[in-house]
């Protein structure tokens, strides 16, 4: 890669009591690059992304985003710097519409007759504009989120990250529990983000999805980095062997 990395992780360590969950993990992610973080259940994937996003504090190692060390920052401070994490639950409010979900915790307001009101119309318009930029058009712009498909809900979570100027998006199992058509929609969204020079850390144990959309993959096994490969230069057999703790 000719560009400087947007994210650099060096010697990341985390223990929970006697369980050494992550041991000396190091890697880089560059702008416009889709990198998979793969591994079986318990390999340490979730612990790694929680440390990067500020949910957990590392016991050792450094996390550097766009030249700034993130260790010790809050999740909000990390998000404000342009690093967004989309977890499996998507953190959407099912009882609210698309526009409000795009601005959760950052609602727009307007003043009328000296009073402040939530500006739902502007939030809805900006949400639709952002979704269209990702190639997504909703038949009902005022739809309540609980009535949308799994793929549309993922699109809203991604649109929220993009609207708030994310330069790196961590996606935690984005195709889990989705049907095949919805999985394809989400993978198409990932490709569109890459075209916009957004870096993506793609957390998954679904090998077909990884091979379909990523540039590189990092394989974790029992908390260690078992191997790093360009996606085009490996195959299912090697990746499974690494996931099971085989030699890198």
Q: Does a structural domain hold residue 162?
A: no
- CATH, residue 27: 3.40.50.300
pLDDT value of position 246:
61
- Bridge partners of 84? 169
Q: Does a structural domain hold residue 126?
A: no
pLDDT value of position 29:
97
> Which value, in Å, is the radius of gyration of the alpha carbons in the chain?
19
Give the helix/strand (H/E) hosting 226: strand 224-230
Q: Does a structural domain hold residue 23?
A: yes
One DSSP character per residue, 160-224 reads HHHHTT-SEEEEESTTTT--HHHHHHHHHHHHHHHHTT-EEEEEES-HHHHHHH-SEEEEEETTE
Q: Does a structural domain hold residue 35?
A: yes
The C-alpha atoms of residue 157 and residue 195 are separated, in whole angstroms, by 18
pLDDT value of position 248:
47
- Identify which of 3-7, 16-20, 198-202, 242-246 has the greatest average pLDDT: 198-202
Classify strands 216-221 and 34-38 as parallel, antiparallel or unpaired: parallel
In terms of C-beta distances under 8 Å and separation of at least 24 residues, what long-range contacts does 209-217 make, across chains too? 209/175, 209/183, 210/36, 210/38, 210/239, 211/236, 212/187, 213/34, 213/187, 214/34, 214/35, 214/36, 215/33, 215/34, 215/35, 216/33, 216/34, 216/35, 216/36, 217/35, 217/36, 217/37, 217/38
Q: Does a structural domain hold residue 78?
A: yes
Alpha-helix runs per DSSP H in the chain: 45-53, 75-80, 98-102, 120-133, 150-163, 180-195, 207-213, 236-243
Q: Considering its fold, how many domains does the chain have in total?
A: 1
If you average pLDDT over every residue of the chain, what do you get?
90
pTM: 0.87
Tokens 């890459």, residue located:
194
pLDDT value of position 2:
59
Burial level of 18, CB count in 10 A (0-12/13-18/19+)?
exposed
Q: Does a structural domain hold residue 191?
A: yes
Report residue 36: phi and psi, to 5°.
Answer: -85, 140
Question: 39-69, pLDDT tens digit by residue?
Answer: 988 899 999 999 999 999 999 999 999 999 9
Percent of the chain topping pLDDT 70 = 97
Question: 126-157, pLDDT tens digit by residue?
Answer: 888 888 888 887 777 788 999 988 888 888 88
Q: Does a structural domain hold residue 193?
A: yes
Residue ranges making up the domain that contains 174? 7-82+167-243
Classify strands 168-172 and 199-204 as parallel, antiparallel or unpaired: parallel
Q: Does a structural domain hold residue 106?
A: no
């Amino acid at each position: 890669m000719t560009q400087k990395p947007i994210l650099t992780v060096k010697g990341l360590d985390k223990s929970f009591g006697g369980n050494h969950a992550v041991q000396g993990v190091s890697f880089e992610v560059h702008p416009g690059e889709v990198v998979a973080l793969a591994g079986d259940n318990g390999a340490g994937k979730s612990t790694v992304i929680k440390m990067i996003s500020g949910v957990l504090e590392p016991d050792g190692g450094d996390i550097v985003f766009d030249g700034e060390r993130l260790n010790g920052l809050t999740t909000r401070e990390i998000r404000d710097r342009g690093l967004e994490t989309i977890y499996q639950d998507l953190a959407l409010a099912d009882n609210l519409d698309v526009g409000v979900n795009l601005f959760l915790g950052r609602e727009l307001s307007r003043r009328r007759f000296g009073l402040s009101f939530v500006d739902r119309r502007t939030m809805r318009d900006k949400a639709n504009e952002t979704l269209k930029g990702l190639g997504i058009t909703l038949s009902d712009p005022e739809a309540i989120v609980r009535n949308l498909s799994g793929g549309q809900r993922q699109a809203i979570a991604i649109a929220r990250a993009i609207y708030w100027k994310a330069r790196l998006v961590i996606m935690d199992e984005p195709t889990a529990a989705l049907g095949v058509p919805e999985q394809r929609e989400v993978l198409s969204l990932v490709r569109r983000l890459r075209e916009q020079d957004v870096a993506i850390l793609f957390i998954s144990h679904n090998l077909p999805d990884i091979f379909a959309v990523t540039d590189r993959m990092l394989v974790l096994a029992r908390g260690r980095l078992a191997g790093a490969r360009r996606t085009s230069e490996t195959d299912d057999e090697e990746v499974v062997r690494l996931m099971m703790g085989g030699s890198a």
